[in-house]
Amino acid sequence: MMDQVNLGLVGGGTVGGGVWQALQRNGDLMAARLGLRLQVVRMAVRDPKRTRGFTVPTSVLTGDWSEVVHDPQVQIVVELMGGTTTAREVVRAALKLGKPVVTANKALLSAHGPELFALAAKHRTNLYYEAAVAGGIPIIKALRESFAGNRITRIAGIVNGTCNYILTRMKLEGAEFSEVLADAQRLGYAEAEPSLDIDGHDAAHKIGILASLAHGFWVRPEAIHTEGIRHLSKLDIQFAGQLGYTIKLLGIIQPVASAAPSAAKKGRNTKKAPDDGQASGIQVSVYPALVPNTHVLASVNHAFNAVAVRGDTVGDTLFYGRGAGQDPTASSVLGDLADAALDLRAGNHHRVPPFAAHNGQGRVVPMDTIASRFYVRLDVSDRPGVFARIATVLARAQIGISSIIQPEGHSGETVPVILMLDAASNQSVRKALATIGKLPVVKSKPVVLRVENLD
Ligand SMILES: NC(=O)c1ccc[n+]([C@@H]2O[C@H](COP(=O)([O-])OP(=O)(O)OC[C@H]3O[C@@H](n4cnc5c(N)ncnc54)[C@H](OP(=O)(O)O)[C@@H]3O)[C@@H](O)[C@H]2O)c1
Protein backbone atom coordinates (compact mmCIF):
# COMPACT_ATOMS: atom_id res chain seq x y z
CA MET A 1 0.00 0.00 0.00
CA MET A 2 1.16 3.54 -0.78
CA ASP A 3 2.54 5.60 2.11
CA GLN A 4 0.22 8.32 3.37
CA VAL A 5 1.30 11.56 5.06
CA ASN A 6 -1.35 13.19 7.23
CA LEU A 7 -1.83 16.94 7.16
CA GLY A 8 -3.43 19.30 9.65
CA LEU A 9 -4.60 22.62 8.19
CA VAL A 10 -5.05 25.66 10.41
CA GLY A 11 -7.14 27.98 8.23
CA GLY A 12 -9.68 27.08 5.58
CA GLY A 13 -10.20 30.50 3.96
CA THR A 14 -8.93 31.63 0.56
CA VAL A 15 -5.64 29.73 0.66
CA GLY A 16 -6.69 26.89 2.99
CA GLY A 17 -9.79 26.30 0.86
CA GLY A 18 -7.59 26.35 -2.24
CA VAL A 19 -5.26 23.73 -0.77
CA TRP A 20 -8.20 21.51 0.23
CA GLN A 21 -9.80 21.75 -3.22
CA ALA A 22 -6.54 21.30 -5.15
CA LEU A 23 -5.82 18.15 -3.13
CA GLN A 24 -9.29 16.82 -4.00
CA ARG A 25 -8.63 17.59 -7.66
CA ASN A 26 -4.96 16.61 -8.03
CA GLY A 27 -4.34 14.33 -5.03
CA ASP A 28 -4.06 11.21 -7.22
CA LEU A 29 -1.65 12.93 -9.59
CA MET A 30 0.50 14.07 -6.67
CA ALA A 31 0.43 10.57 -5.21
CA ALA A 32 1.58 9.12 -8.52
CA ARG A 33 4.39 11.67 -8.78
CA LEU A 34 5.60 11.49 -5.18
CA GLY A 35 4.88 7.86 -4.39
CA LEU A 36 2.94 8.95 -1.31
CA ARG A 37 -0.49 10.32 -0.64
CA LEU A 38 -1.17 13.64 1.10
CA GLN A 39 -4.31 13.48 3.20
CA VAL A 40 -5.90 16.31 5.22
CA VAL A 41 -7.05 14.64 8.43
CA ARG A 42 -7.86 17.80 10.45
CA MET A 43 -8.76 21.39 9.58
CA ALA A 44 -9.22 24.25 12.06
CA VAL A 45 -11.25 27.32 11.17
CA ARG A 46 -12.62 30.16 13.27
CA ASP A 47 -16.23 29.17 12.65
CA PRO A 48 -16.76 25.49 11.74
CA LYS A 49 -20.49 26.13 11.16
CA ARG A 50 -19.94 28.68 8.41
CA THR A 51 -20.98 27.58 4.90
CA ARG A 52 -17.96 27.27 2.62
CA GLY A 53 -17.61 26.80 -1.10
CA PHE A 54 -16.36 23.26 -0.49
CA THR A 55 -17.37 20.41 1.77
CA VAL A 56 -15.18 19.18 4.61
CA PRO A 57 -16.40 16.21 6.71
CA THR A 58 -17.47 17.36 10.19
CA SER A 59 -15.09 14.79 11.70
CA VAL A 60 -12.21 16.73 10.09
CA LEU A 61 -13.33 20.28 11.02
CA THR A 62 -12.74 21.94 14.39
CA GLY A 63 -12.81 25.44 15.83
CA ASP A 64 -9.74 24.77 17.98
CA TRP A 65 -6.32 24.98 16.30
CA SER A 66 -4.60 23.22 19.16
CA GLU A 67 -6.63 20.05 18.46
CA VAL A 68 -5.10 20.02 14.98
CA VAL A 69 -1.54 20.66 16.10
CA HIS A 70 -1.67 18.13 18.95
CA ASP A 71 -3.54 15.40 17.06
CA PRO A 72 -1.03 12.51 17.01
CA GLN A 73 -2.24 11.56 13.52
CA VAL A 74 -1.17 14.96 12.11
CA GLN A 75 2.38 14.74 10.75
CA ILE A 76 2.66 18.14 8.99
CA VAL A 77 0.96 21.34 10.18
CA VAL A 78 -0.09 23.89 7.54
CA GLU A 79 -0.58 27.40 8.95
CA LEU A 80 -2.94 29.34 6.66
CA MET A 81 -4.79 31.55 9.12
CA GLY A 82 -2.65 34.72 8.76
CA GLY A 83 -1.73 37.30 11.40
CA THR A 84 1.23 37.30 13.73
CA THR A 85 -0.22 36.47 17.15
CA THR A 86 -2.19 33.21 17.18
CA ALA A 87 -0.36 32.11 14.01
CA ARG A 88 2.92 32.42 15.90
CA GLU A 89 1.53 30.26 18.70
CA VAL A 90 0.37 27.66 16.17
CA VAL A 91 3.74 27.48 14.43
CA ARG A 92 5.68 27.43 17.71
CA ALA A 93 3.49 24.67 19.14
CA ALA A 94 3.90 22.50 16.03
CA LEU A 95 7.67 22.98 15.81
CA LYS A 96 8.06 22.19 19.51
CA LEU A 97 6.37 18.87 18.82
CA GLY A 98 8.93 18.28 16.07
CA LYS A 99 6.26 18.59 13.36
CA PRO A 100 7.26 20.29 10.10
CA VAL A 101 5.26 23.42 9.32
CA VAL A 102 4.23 24.87 5.96
CA THR A 103 3.10 28.50 6.01
CA ALA A 104 2.10 31.25 3.55
CA ASN A 105 2.44 33.95 6.19
CA LYS A 106 4.97 36.61 5.14
CA ALA A 107 4.02 38.96 7.98
CA LEU A 108 4.75 36.24 10.54
CA LEU A 109 8.12 35.38 9.01
CA SER A 110 9.04 39.02 8.61
CA ALA A 111 8.34 39.67 12.30
CA HIS A 112 9.47 36.37 13.85
CA GLY A 113 11.48 34.49 11.19
CA PRO A 114 14.75 34.01 13.12
CA GLU A 115 12.92 32.83 16.26
CA LEU A 116 10.89 30.26 14.30
CA PHE A 117 13.86 29.03 12.26
CA ALA A 118 15.86 28.53 15.46
CA LEU A 119 12.96 26.65 17.01
CA ALA A 120 12.71 24.38 13.96
CA ALA A 121 16.44 23.61 14.17
CA LYS A 122 16.26 23.00 17.93
CA HIS A 123 13.46 20.48 17.49
CA ARG A 124 15.06 18.87 14.43
CA THR A 125 12.27 19.78 12.10
CA ASN A 126 11.70 22.27 9.27
CA LEU A 127 9.68 25.31 8.22
CA TYR A 128 8.64 25.76 4.58
CA TYR A 129 7.33 29.07 3.24
CA GLU A 130 7.27 29.18 -0.57
CA ALA A 131 3.78 30.72 -0.64
CA ALA A 132 4.86 33.64 1.57
CA VAL A 133 6.57 35.45 -1.33
CA ALA A 134 5.12 36.05 -4.79
CA GLY A 135 2.20 33.61 -4.54
CA GLY A 136 2.55 30.90 -7.17
CA ILE A 137 6.12 31.79 -8.23
CA PRO A 138 8.68 29.30 -6.83
CA ILE A 139 11.21 31.98 -5.92
CA ILE A 140 12.11 30.69 -2.43
CA LYS A 141 13.11 27.28 -3.74
CA ALA A 142 15.03 28.95 -6.57
CA LEU A 143 17.07 31.11 -4.19
CA ARG A 144 17.52 28.46 -1.51
CA GLU A 145 18.30 25.50 -3.74
CA SER A 146 18.51 26.14 -7.48
CA PHE A 147 20.86 29.14 -7.12
CA ALA A 148 22.95 27.68 -4.28
CA GLY A 149 25.98 27.97 -6.59
CA ASN A 150 25.53 31.68 -7.22
CA ARG A 151 26.42 34.93 -5.57
CA ILE A 152 23.27 36.97 -6.07
CA THR A 153 24.26 40.31 -7.56
CA ARG A 154 20.79 41.80 -7.98
CA ILE A 155 17.15 41.06 -7.33
CA ALA A 156 14.56 43.44 -8.75
CA GLY A 157 10.99 42.44 -8.12
CA ILE A 158 7.39 43.47 -8.57
CA VAL A 159 5.95 41.59 -5.59
CA ASN A 160 2.74 43.41 -4.73
CA GLY A 161 -0.11 42.62 -7.10
CA THR A 162 -2.40 45.34 -5.74
CA CYS A 163 0.09 48.12 -6.48
CA ASN A 164 0.92 46.68 -9.88
CA TYR A 165 -2.77 46.45 -10.72
CA ILE A 166 -3.32 50.10 -9.73
CA LEU A 167 -0.24 51.38 -11.60
CA THR A 168 -1.17 49.40 -14.71
CA ARG A 169 -4.67 50.84 -14.80
CA MET A 170 -3.41 54.37 -14.12
CA LYS A 171 -1.16 53.96 -17.16
CA LEU A 172 -3.65 52.29 -19.51
CA GLU A 173 -6.63 54.49 -18.60
CA GLY A 174 -4.89 57.77 -17.71
CA ALA A 175 -6.77 57.58 -14.41
CA GLU A 176 -5.91 59.07 -11.01
CA PHE A 177 -4.68 56.91 -8.13
CA SER A 178 -7.75 57.46 -5.94
CA GLU A 179 -10.22 56.49 -8.70
CA VAL A 180 -8.36 53.27 -9.50
CA LEU A 181 -7.93 52.38 -5.83
CA ALA A 182 -11.69 52.74 -5.22
CA ASP A 183 -12.41 50.52 -8.23
CA ALA A 184 -9.76 47.98 -7.17
CA GLN A 185 -11.43 47.79 -3.75
CA ARG A 186 -14.82 47.22 -5.38
CA LEU A 187 -13.38 44.43 -7.56
CA GLY A 188 -11.50 42.75 -4.69
CA TYR A 189 -7.99 43.61 -5.92
CA ALA A 190 -7.40 45.88 -2.91
CA GLU A 191 -8.39 45.54 0.75
CA ALA A 192 -10.87 47.94 2.36
CA GLU A 193 -7.90 49.02 4.52
CA PRO A 194 -5.29 49.21 1.74
CA SER A 195 -2.27 50.74 3.50
CA LEU A 196 -0.37 47.46 3.95
CA ASP A 197 -0.28 47.17 0.16
CA ILE A 198 -0.22 50.71 -1.18
CA ASP A 199 2.30 52.05 1.34
CA GLY A 200 4.76 49.31 0.37
CA HIS A 201 4.79 47.31 3.65
CA ASP A 202 3.58 44.02 2.15
CA ALA A 203 6.25 44.29 -0.55
CA ALA A 204 8.84 45.06 2.14
CA HIS A 205 7.90 41.89 4.08
CA LYS A 206 8.55 39.83 0.95
CA ILE A 207 11.66 41.70 -0.17
CA GLY A 208 13.13 41.30 3.32
CA ILE A 209 12.67 37.53 3.11
CA LEU A 210 14.29 37.38 -0.35
CA ALA A 211 17.17 39.61 0.77
CA SER A 212 17.79 37.42 3.81
CA LEU A 213 17.91 34.27 1.70
CA ALA A 214 20.09 35.82 -0.98
CA HIS A 215 22.61 37.46 1.35
CA GLY A 216 22.75 35.19 4.37
CA PHE A 217 21.84 37.55 7.21
CA TRP A 218 18.38 38.30 8.53
CA VAL A 219 17.05 41.59 7.20
CA ARG A 220 14.72 43.23 9.71
CA PRO A 221 11.69 45.04 8.22
CA GLU A 222 12.71 48.31 9.94
CA ALA A 223 15.97 48.29 7.97
CA ILE A 224 14.17 48.32 4.62
CA HIS A 225 13.69 51.72 3.02
CA THR A 226 10.00 51.60 2.08
CA GLU A 227 7.92 53.99 0.00
CA GLY A 228 4.46 53.39 -1.42
CA ILE A 229 2.50 54.66 -4.40
CA ARG A 230 -0.26 56.83 -2.92
CA HIS A 231 1.49 60.11 -3.80
CA LEU A 232 1.70 59.28 -7.51
CA SER A 233 -0.39 61.24 -9.97
CA LYS A 234 -1.48 60.34 -13.47
CA LEU A 235 0.81 63.18 -14.59
CA ASP A 236 3.84 61.22 -13.37
CA ILE A 237 2.73 58.11 -15.21
CA GLN A 238 2.18 60.17 -18.40
CA PHE A 239 5.46 62.10 -18.20
CA ALA A 240 7.40 58.93 -17.42
CA GLY A 241 5.76 57.36 -20.49
CA GLN A 242 6.78 60.30 -22.68
CA LEU A 243 10.36 59.79 -21.50
CA GLY A 244 10.27 56.06 -22.36
CA TYR A 245 9.65 54.69 -18.86
CA THR A 246 6.94 52.87 -16.89
CA ILE A 247 6.48 53.41 -13.15
CA LYS A 248 6.54 50.21 -11.08
CA LEU A 249 6.68 49.56 -7.36
CA LEU A 250 10.06 47.81 -7.25
CA GLY A 251 11.82 45.88 -4.58
CA ILE A 252 15.56 46.24 -5.10
CA ILE A 253 18.17 44.07 -3.40
CA GLN A 254 21.79 44.50 -4.38
CA PRO A 255 25.26 44.74 -2.91
CA VAL A 256 26.57 48.31 -3.03
CA ALA A 257 30.15 49.44 -2.60
CA SER A 258 30.20 53.10 -1.82
CA ALA A 259 28.03 55.82 -3.19
CA ALA A 260 29.40 59.10 -2.00
CA PRO A 261 28.04 62.02 -4.03
CA SER A 262 31.45 62.56 -5.63
CA ALA A 263 31.29 59.03 -7.01
CA ALA A 264 28.26 59.93 -9.06
CA LYS A 265 29.20 60.23 -12.69
CA LYS A 266 27.30 62.40 -15.09
CA GLY A 267 24.31 60.68 -16.63
CA ARG A 268 25.14 57.24 -15.27
CA ASN A 269 23.82 55.27 -12.41
CA THR A 270 26.87 54.47 -10.29
CA LYS A 271 25.04 51.93 -8.17
CA LYS A 272 27.08 48.98 -9.36
CA ALA A 273 27.25 45.61 -7.71
CA PRO A 274 30.81 45.32 -6.39
CA ASP A 275 32.84 42.15 -6.38
CA ASP A 276 32.09 40.01 -3.40
CA GLY A 277 34.06 40.96 -0.32
CA GLN A 278 34.20 44.61 -1.32
CA ALA A 279 30.55 45.30 -0.64
CA SER A 280 30.03 47.78 2.13
CA GLY A 281 26.52 46.38 2.46
CA ILE A 282 23.31 45.53 0.72
CA GLN A 283 20.65 47.86 -0.60
CA VAL A 284 17.26 46.51 0.42
CA SER A 285 14.48 48.85 -0.58
CA VAL A 286 10.95 49.20 -1.90
CA TYR A 287 9.90 52.28 -3.86
CA PRO A 288 8.10 53.33 -7.03
CA ALA A 289 10.68 53.72 -9.79
CA LEU A 290 10.89 54.56 -13.46
CA VAL A 291 11.79 51.37 -15.36
CA PRO A 292 12.81 51.68 -19.04
CA ASN A 293 10.08 50.40 -21.35
CA THR A 294 12.71 48.17 -22.97
CA HIS A 295 13.16 46.21 -19.71
CA VAL A 296 10.97 43.15 -19.28
CA LEU A 297 9.72 44.32 -15.85
CA ALA A 298 8.03 47.31 -17.53
CA SER A 299 5.60 44.94 -19.26
CA VAL A 300 4.55 43.02 -16.15
CA ASN A 301 0.97 44.20 -15.90
CA HIS A 302 -2.14 44.02 -13.73
CA ALA A 303 -1.93 41.76 -10.67
CA PHE A 304 1.04 39.76 -11.98
CA ASN A 305 4.32 39.58 -10.07
CA ALA A 306 7.81 39.16 -11.48
CA VAL A 307 11.18 38.75 -9.85
CA ALA A 308 14.36 39.29 -11.87
CA VAL A 309 17.33 37.56 -10.26
CA ARG A 310 20.90 38.03 -11.43
CA GLY A 311 23.51 35.54 -10.22
CA ASP A 312 27.22 35.58 -10.97
CA THR A 313 27.04 32.06 -12.36
CA VAL A 314 23.59 31.88 -13.94
CA GLY A 315 23.37 35.45 -15.26
CA ASP A 316 19.92 36.99 -15.66
CA THR A 317 16.77 35.04 -14.85
CA LEU A 318 13.13 36.04 -14.61
CA PHE A 319 10.31 34.51 -12.59
CA TYR A 320 6.82 35.60 -13.60
CA GLY A 321 3.37 34.58 -12.46
CA ARG A 322 0.42 35.30 -10.25
CA GLY A 323 1.54 36.73 -6.94
CA ALA A 324 -1.63 35.96 -5.00
CA GLY A 325 -5.02 34.33 -5.28
CA GLN A 326 -6.44 31.02 -4.21
CA ASP A 327 -5.00 28.61 -6.76
CA PRO A 328 -1.54 30.12 -7.36
CA THR A 329 -0.91 30.35 -3.61
CA ALA A 330 -2.25 26.83 -3.07
CA SER A 331 0.15 25.64 -5.77
CA SER A 332 3.14 26.88 -3.74
CA VAL A 333 1.74 25.36 -0.53
CA LEU A 334 1.35 22.01 -2.32
CA GLY A 335 4.94 22.25 -3.59
CA ASP A 336 6.12 22.75 0.00
CA LEU A 337 3.92 19.87 1.17
CA ALA A 338 5.53 17.61 -1.41
CA ASP A 339 8.99 18.58 -0.10
CA ALA A 340 7.96 18.25 3.53
CA ALA A 341 6.36 14.84 2.98
CA LEU A 342 9.34 13.50 1.00
CA ASP A 343 11.73 14.82 3.67
CA LEU A 344 9.63 13.17 6.39
CA ARG A 345 9.62 9.85 4.59
CA ALA A 346 13.39 10.05 4.05
CA GLY A 347 13.81 10.85 7.77
CA ASN A 348 15.68 13.93 6.63
CA HIS A 349 14.64 16.84 8.81
CA HIS A 350 17.18 19.36 7.52
CA ARG A 351 17.66 18.51 3.86
CA VAL A 352 17.58 22.26 3.20
CA PRO A 353 17.53 24.54 6.25
CA PRO A 354 14.76 27.17 6.16
CA PHE A 355 17.33 29.94 6.35
CA ALA A 356 21.09 29.58 6.49
CA ALA A 357 22.88 32.55 8.05
CA HIS A 358 26.22 32.62 6.22
CA ASN A 359 27.20 36.26 6.25
CA GLY A 360 28.16 37.51 9.71
CA GLN A 361 29.27 40.88 8.27
CA GLY A 362 26.01 41.47 6.38
CA ARG A 363 24.25 44.79 6.83
CA VAL A 364 21.67 46.91 5.07
CA VAL A 365 23.07 50.17 3.73
CA PRO A 366 21.09 53.34 4.61
CA MET A 367 19.26 54.70 1.58
CA ASP A 368 20.79 58.16 2.03
CA THR A 369 24.23 56.82 1.10
CA ILE A 370 23.09 55.15 -2.12
CA ALA A 371 23.37 56.91 -5.48
CA SER A 372 20.42 56.95 -7.88
CA ARG A 373 19.21 58.84 -10.89
CA PHE A 374 16.04 60.80 -10.25
CA TYR A 375 12.88 62.05 -11.91
CA VAL A 376 11.52 65.18 -10.21
CA ARG A 377 8.21 66.89 -10.93
CA LEU A 378 7.74 70.44 -9.72
CA ASP A 379 4.73 72.75 -9.93
CA VAL A 380 6.20 76.18 -10.55
CA SER A 381 5.02 79.73 -11.26
CA ASP A 382 4.79 80.38 -14.96
CA ARG A 383 7.27 83.25 -15.16
CA PRO A 384 10.86 83.92 -16.27
CA GLY A 385 13.83 83.09 -14.04
CA VAL A 386 12.28 80.03 -12.40
CA PHE A 387 14.63 77.48 -13.96
CA ALA A 388 17.67 79.53 -13.00
CA ARG A 389 16.71 79.49 -9.32
CA ILE A 390 16.14 75.75 -9.29
CA ALA A 391 19.34 75.06 -11.25
CA THR A 392 21.34 77.17 -8.80
CA VAL A 393 20.25 75.05 -5.82
CA LEU A 394 21.11 71.84 -7.67
CA ALA A 395 24.47 73.20 -8.83
CA ARG A 396 25.39 74.13 -5.26
CA ALA A 397 24.66 70.54 -4.24
CA GLN A 398 26.77 69.29 -7.19
CA ILE A 399 23.78 67.53 -8.70
CA GLY A 400 23.77 67.46 -12.49
CA ILE A 401 20.61 67.90 -14.55
CA SER A 402 20.43 65.58 -17.55
CA SER A 403 17.25 67.18 -18.93
CA ILE A 404 14.55 69.71 -18.11
CA ILE A 405 11.17 69.28 -19.72
CA GLN A 406 8.28 71.69 -19.58
CA PRO A 407 5.46 69.66 -21.08
CA GLU A 408 3.24 71.53 -23.51
CA GLY A 409 -0.49 71.95 -23.07
CA HIS A 410 -0.37 73.24 -19.49
CA SER A 411 -1.37 76.83 -18.83
CA GLY A 412 -2.35 78.84 -15.81
CA GLU A 413 -0.64 80.30 -12.77
CA THR A 414 1.45 77.18 -12.25
CA VAL A 415 2.91 74.72 -14.73
CA PRO A 416 4.65 71.36 -14.28
CA VAL A 417 8.36 71.02 -14.87
CA ILE A 418 10.15 67.68 -15.08
CA LEU A 419 13.81 67.38 -14.15
CA MET A 420 15.85 64.28 -14.88
CA LEU A 421 18.84 64.30 -12.55
CA ASP A 422 22.20 62.62 -12.97
CA ALA A 423 23.19 60.02 -10.40
CA ALA A 424 23.60 61.54 -6.96
CA SER A 425 23.33 60.35 -3.40
CA ASN A 426 19.82 60.11 -2.03
CA GLN A 427 20.86 62.37 0.83
CA SER A 428 22.09 65.22 -1.38
CA VAL A 429 18.98 65.04 -3.57
CA ARG A 430 16.70 64.94 -0.53
CA LYS A 431 18.37 68.05 0.95
CA ALA A 432 18.45 69.97 -2.33
CA LEU A 433 14.78 69.28 -2.97
CA ALA A 434 13.85 70.38 0.54
CA THR A 435 15.46 73.73 -0.33
CA ILE A 436 13.81 73.84 -3.76
CA GLY A 437 10.44 73.02 -2.21
CA LYS A 438 10.72 76.22 -0.12
CA LEU A 439 11.41 78.52 -3.06
CA PRO A 440 8.49 80.94 -3.52
CA VAL A 441 8.25 79.96 -7.20
CA VAL A 442 7.66 76.28 -6.31
CA LYS A 443 3.99 75.81 -5.53
CA SER A 444 3.69 72.27 -4.19
CA LYS A 445 5.82 69.52 -2.66
CA PRO A 446 8.20 68.11 -5.29
CA VAL A 447 7.40 64.59 -6.51
CA VAL A 448 10.64 62.59 -6.51
CA LEU A 449 11.06 59.15 -8.07
CA ARG A 450 14.17 57.10 -8.69
CA VAL A 451 15.10 55.96 -12.17
CA GLU A 452 16.26 52.33 -12.31
CA ASN A 453 17.89 51.40 -15.59
CA LEU A 454 18.43 47.81 -14.41
CA ASP A 455 21.27 47.34 -16.89
N1 LIG B 1 -5.09 35.24 -0.19
C2 LIG B 1 -3.98 35.25 -0.90
O3 LIG B 1 -4.01 35.44 -2.12
C4 LIG B 1 -2.66 34.99 -0.23
C5 LIG B 1 -1.50 34.93 -1.01
C6 LIG B 1 -0.27 34.66 -0.42
C7 LIG B 1 -0.22 34.47 0.95
N8 LIG B 1 -1.36 34.56 1.68
C9 LIG B 1 -1.27 34.33 3.13
O10 LIG B 1 -2.02 33.18 3.47
C11 LIG B 1 -2.55 33.31 4.77
C12 LIG B 1 -4.04 33.08 4.74
O13 LIG B 1 -4.64 34.03 3.91
P14 LIG B 1 -6.15 33.88 3.38
O15 LIG B 1 -6.29 34.90 2.32
O16 LIG B 1 -6.44 32.47 3.08
O17 LIG B 1 -6.95 34.34 4.67
P18 LIG B 1 -8.53 34.12 4.97
O19 LIG B 1 -9.27 33.89 3.71
O20 LIG B 1 -8.94 35.23 5.86
O21 LIG B 1 -8.56 32.76 5.80
C22 LIG B 1 -8.15 32.67 7.13
C23 LIG B 1 -8.61 31.36 7.68
O24 LIG B 1 -8.11 31.22 8.99
C25 LIG B 1 -9.22 30.85 9.84
N26 LIG B 1 -8.95 31.35 11.19
C27 LIG B 1 -8.82 32.64 11.58
N28 LIG B 1 -8.58 32.71 12.90
C29 LIG B 1 -8.56 31.44 13.34
C30 LIG B 1 -8.36 30.84 14.62
N31 LIG B 1 -8.10 31.57 15.70
N32 LIG B 1 -8.40 29.49 14.72
C33 LIG B 1 -8.62 28.72 13.62
N34 LIG B 1 -8.81 29.24 12.38
C35 LIG B 1 -8.78 30.58 12.26
C36 LIG B 1 -10.45 31.45 9.23
O37 LIG B 1 -11.60 30.78 9.68
P38 LIG B 1 -13.07 31.12 9.09
O39 LIG B 1 -13.05 30.59 7.68
O40 LIG B 1 -14.02 30.40 9.95
O41 LIG B 1 -13.18 32.61 9.15
C42 LIG B 1 -10.14 31.24 7.74
O43 LIG B 1 -10.53 29.95 7.36
C44 LIG B 1 -2.12 34.70 5.25
O45 LIG B 1 -0.94 34.61 6.02
C46 LIG B 1 -1.85 35.44 3.96
O47 LIG B 1 -0.90 36.50 4.12
C48 LIG B 1 -2.58 34.81 1.13
Where residue 182 sits, what CATH number does that domain have?
3.30.360.10
Which residue range forms the structural domain that includes residue 188?
A: 142-323+361-367
Q: What is the DSSP letter of 365?
A: P
Q: What is the three-class DSSP state of 249? A: strand
Pocket test for ligand 1, best of 329, 332, 333 (most atoms within 8 A of CB): 329
Residues 64 and 163 in one domain: no
Report DSSP letters for 41-91, one per residue. EEEE-S-TTS--SS---TTTEES-HHHHHH-TT--EEEE-S-SSSHHHHHH
Among 64, 97, 128, give the residue marking a domain's end. Answer: 128
Residues 377 and 264 in one domain: no
| Nearest CA, atom 21, ligand 1 | 13
Residues 97 and 147 in one domain: no
Give residue 184's Cα distance to chain centre.
19
Residues 206 and 89 in one domain: no
- pLDDT tens-digit series, residues 337-385: 999 999 999 998 878 889 999 998 899 999 999 999 999 999 999 888 9
> Is the shortest distance between the CB of 10 and ligand 1 below 6 Å?
yes
Instruction: Flag whether 154 is in a domain.
Output: yes
Domain count within the chain: 3
- pLDDT tens-digit series, residues 109-132: 999 999 999 999 999 999 999 999
The residues, ordered by sequence, that sit 6+ positions from 132 with a Cβ below 8 Å of its Cβ are: 103, 104, 105, 106, 109, 140, 206, 209
Residues involved in catalysis: 206
Residues 290 and 151 in one domain: yes
Read off the CATH number of the domain in which 97 is found: 3.40.50.720
Contact 385, 417 (CB under 8 A): no
Q: Rounded to the nearest whole angstrom, what is the distance from the C-alpha of residue 344 to the centroid of ligand 1?
A: 26
> Is the shortest distance between the CB of 82 and ligand 1 below 6 Å?
yes
Report how far residue 128's alpha carbon sits from residue 446's, in angstroms, rounded to the nearest whole number: 43
pLDDT in 10s for each residue of the chain, 455 residues: 779 999 999 999 999 999 999 999 999 999 999 999 999 999 999 999 999 999 999 999 999 999 999 999 999 999 999 999 999 999 999 999 999 999 999 999 999 999 999 999 999 999 999 999 999 999 999 999 999 999 999 999 999 999 999 999 999 999 999 999 999 999 999 999 999 999 999 999 999 999 999 999 999 999 999 999 999 999 999 999 999 999 999 999 999 975 444 444 444 454 554 444 445 799 999 999 999 999 999 999 999 999 999 999 999 999 999 999 999 999 999 999 999 999 999 998 878 889 999 998 899 999 999 999 999 999 999 888 999 999 999 999 999 999 999 887 777 889 999 999 999 999 999 999 999 999 999 999 999 999 999 99
Instruction: Flag whether 24 is in a domain.
Output: yes
Residues 424 and 318 in one domain: no
Residues 183 and 42 in one domain: no
Report how far residue 452's alpha carbon sits from residue 38's, in angstroms, rounded to the nearest whole number: 45
Q: Rounded to the nearest whole angstrom, what is the distance from the C-alpha of residue 118 to the centroid of ligand 1?
A: 25
Instruction: Flag whether 350 is in a domain.
Output: no
Residues 120 and 147 in one domain: no
Percentage of the chain surpassing pLDDT 90? 90
> Is the shortest distance between the CB of 46 and ligand 1 below 6 Å?
yes
| Nearest CA, atom 20, ligand 1 | 13
Pocket test for ligand 1, best of 80, 108, 129, 331 (most atoms within 8 A of CB): 80
Report how far residue 189's alpha carbon sits from residue 214's, in angstroms, rounded to the nearest whole number: 30
Instruction: Flag whether 338 is in a domain.
Output: no
Residues 16 and 81 in one domain: yes
